[in-house]
A and B are shown apart, each in its own frame.
Chain A
Amino acid sequence: MRRRHFLTLSAATLGGVLVYSLDRKAAVLAAQHKPVRVPLRFFTETEALIVAAAGSRISPSDESGPGAREAGVAIFIDRQLAGSYGRDRFRYTQPPFEEAPRELGYQGSATPRQIYRDGLKDLQGFHFLTPAAQDEALRKIESTLFFALLRQNTIEGMFCDPIHGGNAGMIGWQLVGFPGPRMSYFDEVDKHYGKAFRPKPMSLRQTTGAKIRPSEDEP
């Protein structure tokens, strides 16, 4: 059996944001003196640190707003890879696997889990590098399938409903002005023409008041 791994998140590295622990209890990091240890479902701790570091070069925390690190992208990706997405539960995976023109889509046999595990081998020690060296390392793998997945999953982790472990505190939604799922814009949809209308974001759980099981928690 796999040894349990944790990703340790501290208020110092993240600054006053919410993270969601495995049992989905929200914890506000800034209010705590001790760091939060989030149990990992797929990554080793080292892998999670590399993914967190790489994600935050793809979507950095900078003057345009918070990035992948504050959103908890590494936790999101860990859960996705542990779930049906990571093991290609819904993809056609029967052989033979052949090379194909781009218009036919990904034809490989490797699942997202395998693609990450292999791709991360090329980024050993990545989380110890300077940001400039990290960018240089990412530029070398820019054209790989692993990087394409990492980039796509980083965007997903920035903007998914917080139920999936990313977009912590809905910071991704605040960043772009997306209010989350809301019941009605009947009185608003044909108003505010040309002017920003920015209702405060609400998560699916807040809007519906319902307990929702995300797909990554399904067997």
Chain B
Amino acid sequence: MKTLPAVDAVIVGGGWAGLLMAKELGSRTSLNIIVLERGPSRELSDYATDMDELDYAIRLRMMQDLSKETVTLRHDITQRALPLRQHGAFLPGAGVGGSGEHWNAQVPRFLPDCFELLTKTTEKFGANTLPEDHAVRDWGITYNELEPYYTRVDKLLGTSGNAGNLRGKLIDGGNIFEGWRSEEYPTPPTKMPYFSALFRDAAKSLGYHPYPAPSANISQSYTNPDGISRGGCTYCGFCAKFGCMVGAKAQPTNLLLPIIQKRKNVSLRTGAWVRRILFDATPKSVAGGVTYIDAAGEETFQPASLIFLASWTLNNTRLLLLSGIGEPYNPSTGRGTVGSNLTHAVGFGAATAFFDQPLNRFMGSGSAGILFSDFDRDDLDRSSLNFIRGGYFAARGYGFQPIGAFGVLPNSIKATWGSEWKKASVSYYDRTATIGFAGEHLAYKTNFMDLDPAYKDALGDPLLRLTLDWRDNERKMAKFATPKAVEVARAMGAREINPFPGLRSYDAVHYNSTHIQGGTIMGDSPAYSVVSPYLQHWQLPNLFILGGSTFPQNASANPTPTILAFVYRTADVIIDRYLKNPGPLA
């Protein structure tokens, strides 16, 4: 094994979390920093020619290469897990920028009570409200503490939107159910495609409070506090699964990489597949560095004083398990912490609506949409509901492309090929759209991750095994949300509507969202959490874990702004306190 000269910090993963940490530490300190990214390098110019539905949206060119590594899945511990051999329910990105390159860039914040979910739910509704085998936890931090960092994230991204709660003052037209914001959004809302506008009017007519989705695919030119300028969105319709052709969508490659590339103290190594974190198992233990296979295939040891794990939810968890750091979670005994609290999102197309008039759905952006959160608020009256928590409804304005959109038909049409099918598919092609629902997923003792006993990656290491299924609360939430969406579709004037058929077993085939969380959760005690709210490992104080793997359970809102807010907070505490006096912060 080749041993490289020691550096001050090594960051595993070059996505949103890793590159934001590299930018903050790299530009505010003189630390010598290496970022290790498994995938290829990416430049903005790569995206000038990527608007090819087949290669990018169907063959998924920007996603992780599953031939090298995937995960296995089972619904409960009595089953044998099998590998997810092709992409489906979630789409981990590969390469510099990670999933932050191919996202839709919808950036709402989490509700204030999400961070104190166990305490607040118990206080308001009593301990019996939570399902018997829940694993819901407080995060060890409050929304008020996090708010300034959320505001920094909005300024970094240039988020477009209308505030609904400005320092406690509710403002019509924004999300009046959101947590308080200290400042208005940096840029005004995006333009609205027809379908989203129809949804807004229908939702309003039913007494809901629709608002423009907070969008990091920005509405107009904006220069952020780092001096990075971007133009506004052109609504070309190629967002999710693509990099942005004009750079209007916030991506690590356009907001973070240009700053990192100017810093002599930060370097980025691509094609570096990290396999282990090495640590010293003495009472005063610290992590010593990481081993990886470099782009030339050589096994390499990179010693470092500070280690950041920022390799997405699933790989963060897997690296701890492979490295033997911490005790793996055991659902039978409840002992151990690594791998616990696996959550996804209750995300599905609640009502697919078929209209008489054309929608021009090729125009739009992944976050130029309308949402309403009347069933996603911390003051919801639960007396008539048989589930807890909630979610938001969405008419997202992402552009439709024909391979994916052709052949979506009302349930009344039974043909799946031939003349009748083709005729109906042509006629409904631009007259079809789906109202989405995104709901919270509670943590349960039975949903967790460990290492698979049978299946291996291309290097011979065990795959990560997910044990994951929906429970009553999610099924009831979906059952509640579906007729609400159907009602809105009807008010929009839909001729026919396909309601969501309901949640059965966890489905790894159809896309849900890439919002998988947990495995290395934060909390105020090492008894149940892996890191403190400063994202510092409880046992190895020079190891920090960034990303959705630190979320104790998932919220309804898209996770990226919350991930970035925590990275800012951790960068601050490292610069202000840790570097002066390395050791436990909490």
| Contact assessment for A92 and B362 in the assembled complex, using a CB-CB cutoff below 8 Å | no
Residue of B48, B83, B418 ringed by the most chain A CB atoms within 10 A: B83
| Contact assessment for A102 and B417 in the assembled complex, using a CB-CB cutoff below 8 Å | no
The number of chain B residues touching the other chain, given as a range, is 35 or more
CA distance A67 to B418 in the complex (A): 10
> Of B84-92, B124-132, B152-160, B275-283, which stretch is located at the interface?
B84-92
CA distance A135 to B421 in the complex (A): 13
Asked if B401 lies at the interface with its beta carbon under 8 angstroms from chain A, I say yes
Chain A residue at minimal CB-CB distance from B424: A64
Neighbouring A residues of B86 by C-beta, 8 Å? 91-92, 105-106
CA distance A215 to B56 in the complex (A): 10
Asked if B184 lies at the interface with its beta carbon under 8 angstroms from chain A, I say no
CA distance A173 to B406 in the complex (A): 11
Chain B residue at minimal CB-CB distance from A147: B417
CA distance A207 to B51 in the complex (A): 10
| Contact assessment for A64 and B505 in the assembled complex, using a CB-CB cutoff below 8 Å | no
| Contact assessment for A64 and B80 in the assembled complex, using a CB-CB cutoff below 8 Å | no
| Contact assessment for A103 and B67 in the assembled complex, using a CB-CB cutoff below 8 Å | no
Given A90-B67, A192-B360, A107 and B54 touching (CB < 8 A)?
no
Chain B residue at minimal CB-CB distance from A57: B418
> Which A177-219 residues have a C-beta within 8 angstroms of B?
177-179, 181-186, 188-190, 192-197, 204, 207-208, 210, 212, 214-215
Given A98-B82, A159-B403, A184 and B73 touching (CB < 8 A)?
no
Residue of A179, A185, A188, A207 ringed by the most chain B CB atoms within 10 A: A185
Given A58-B417, A104-B84, A176-B430, A186 and B234 touching (CB < 8 A)?
yes
Neighbouring A residues of B59 by C-beta, 8 Å? 84-85, 90, 215
CA distance A98 to B82 in the complex (A): 8
> Of A8-16, A115-123, A150-158, which stretch is located at the interface?
A150-158
> Of B28-36, B186-194, B266-274, B478-486, which stretch is located at the interface?
B186-194
Question: How far is the CB of B83 from the nearest CB of chain A, in Å?
Answer: 5
Neighbouring B residues of A204 by C-beta, 8 Å? 49, 51-52
Asked if B319 lies at the interface with its beta carbon under 8 angstroms from chain A, I say no
| Contact assessment for B236 and A183 in the assembled complex, using a CB-CB cutoff below 8 Å | yes
Asked if B66 lies at the interface with its beta carbon under 8 angstroms from chain A, I say yes
Asked if A28 lies at the interface with its beta carbon under 8 angstroms from chain B, I say no
| Per-residue contact bits, chain A 160-179, to B (CB 8 Å; 1 contact, 0 not) | 11011000000011011111
Neighbouring B residues of A163 by C-beta, 8 Å? 52
Given A58-B417, A105-B509, A155 and B407 touching (CB < 8 A)?
yes
CA distance A134 to B88 in the complex (A): 33
Asked if B263 lies at the interface with its beta carbon under 8 angstroms from chain A, I say no
| Contact assessment for A196 and B360 in the assembled complex, using a CB-CB cutoff below 8 Å | yes
Asked if B136 lies at the interface with its beta carbon under 8 angstroms from chain A, I say no
SS class, residues of chain B in contact with chain A: loop
CA distance A93 to B67 in the complex (A): 6
Asked if B294 lies at the interface with its beta carbon under 8 angstroms from chain A, I say no
Asked if B437 lies at the interface with its beta carbon under 8 angstroms from chain A, I say no
Chain B residue at minimal CB-CB distance from A212: B49
Given A92-B67, A159-B403, A189 and B422 touching (CB < 8 A)?
no
| Contact assessment for A185 and B49 in the assembled complex, using a CB-CB cutoff below 8 Å | no
| Contact assessment for A92 and B363 in the assembled complex, using a CB-CB cutoff below 8 Å | no
Residue of B191, B234, B403 ringed by the most chain A CB atoms within 10 A: B403
| Contact assessment for A160 and B417 in the assembled complex, using a CB-CB cutoff below 8 Å | no
From A105, A155, A181, A189, contact of B364 by CB (8 A): A189
| Contact assessment for A90 and B53 in the assembled complex, using a CB-CB cutoff below 8 Å | no
Neighbouring A residues of B427 by C-beta, 8 Å? 64
From A100, A156, A158, A190, contact of B191 by CB (8 A): A190
Neighbouring B residues of A160 by C-beta, 8 Å? 52-54, 403
CA distance A91 to B47 in the complex (A): 24
CA distance A92 to B505 in the complex (A): 23
Question: How far is the CB of B364 from the nearest CB of chain A, in Å?
Answer: 6
Neighbouring A residues of B80 by C-beta, 8 Å? 98
Given A104-B508, A151-B416, A185-B235, A178 and B362 touching (CB < 8 A)?
yes
Asked if B475 lies at the interface with its beta carbon under 8 angstroms from chain A, I say no
CA distance A179 to B304 in the complex (A): 52
From A60, A67, A156, A186, contact of B403 by CB (8 A): A156
Given A92-B67, A184-B236, A214 and B422 touching (CB < 8 A)?
no
> Which A69-92 residues have a C-beta within 8 angstroms of B?
84-85, 88-92
| Contact assessment for A210 and B53 in the assembled complex, using a CB-CB cutoff below 8 Å | no
| Contact assessment for A177 and B429 in the assembled complex, using a CB-CB cutoff below 8 Å | yes
Question: How far is the CB of A2 from the nearest CB of chain B, in Å?
Answer: 25
CA distance A84 to B416 in the complex (A): 28
From A102, A156, A189, A194, contact of B358 by CB (8 A): A194
Asked if B375 lies at the interface with its beta carbon under 8 angstroms from chain A, I say no
Neighbouring A residues of B472 by C-beta, 8 Å? none
From A67, A107, A142, A158, contact of B85 by CB (8 A): A107
Neighbouring A residues of B295 by C-beta, 8 Å? none
Asked if A59 lies at the interface with its beta carbon under 8 angstroms from chain B, I say yes
Residue of B58, B69, B418, B427 ringed by the most chain A CB atoms within 10 A: B418
Asked if B456 lies at the interface with its beta carbon under 8 angstroms from chain A, I say yes
Neighbouring B residues of A91 by C-beta, 8 Å? 66-67, 85-86
Given A60-B418, A91-B66, A192 and B51 touching (CB < 8 A)?
no
| Contact assessment for A195 and B53 in the assembled complex, using a CB-CB cutoff below 8 Å | no
Asked if B61 lies at the interface with its beta carbon under 8 angstroms from chain A, I say yes
CA distance A202 to B334 in the complex (A): 59
Question: How far is the CB of B314 from the nearest CB of chain A, in Å?
Answer: 14
Q: Could you pull out 9 A-B pairs where Cβ atoms are within 8 angstroms? A: A92-B83, A94-B455, A103-B507, A160-B403, A161-B52, A176-B429, A190-B197, A194-B357, A212-B49
**10 nearest A-B pairs in the assembled complex, by CB-CB distance:** A181-B51, A184-B234, A159-B402, A189-B235, A185-B363, A64-B423, A176-B429, A160-B54, A196-B358, A92-B70
Q: Taking beta carbons and an 8 Å cutoff, which residues of A are in contact with B?
A: 57-60, 62-65, 67, 84-85, 88-94, 96, 98, 100-107, 135, 138, 142, 151, 155-156, 158-161, 163-164, 172-173, 175-179, 181-186, 188-190, 192-197, 204, 207-208, 210, 212, 214-215
Given contacts A101-B505, A103-B505, 13 further A-B pairs with CB under 8 A are A62-B423, A91-B66, A91-B67, A96-B454, A103-B508, A176-B406, A176-B430, A179-B362, A184-B236, A188-B235, A190-B197, A194-B358, A215-B55
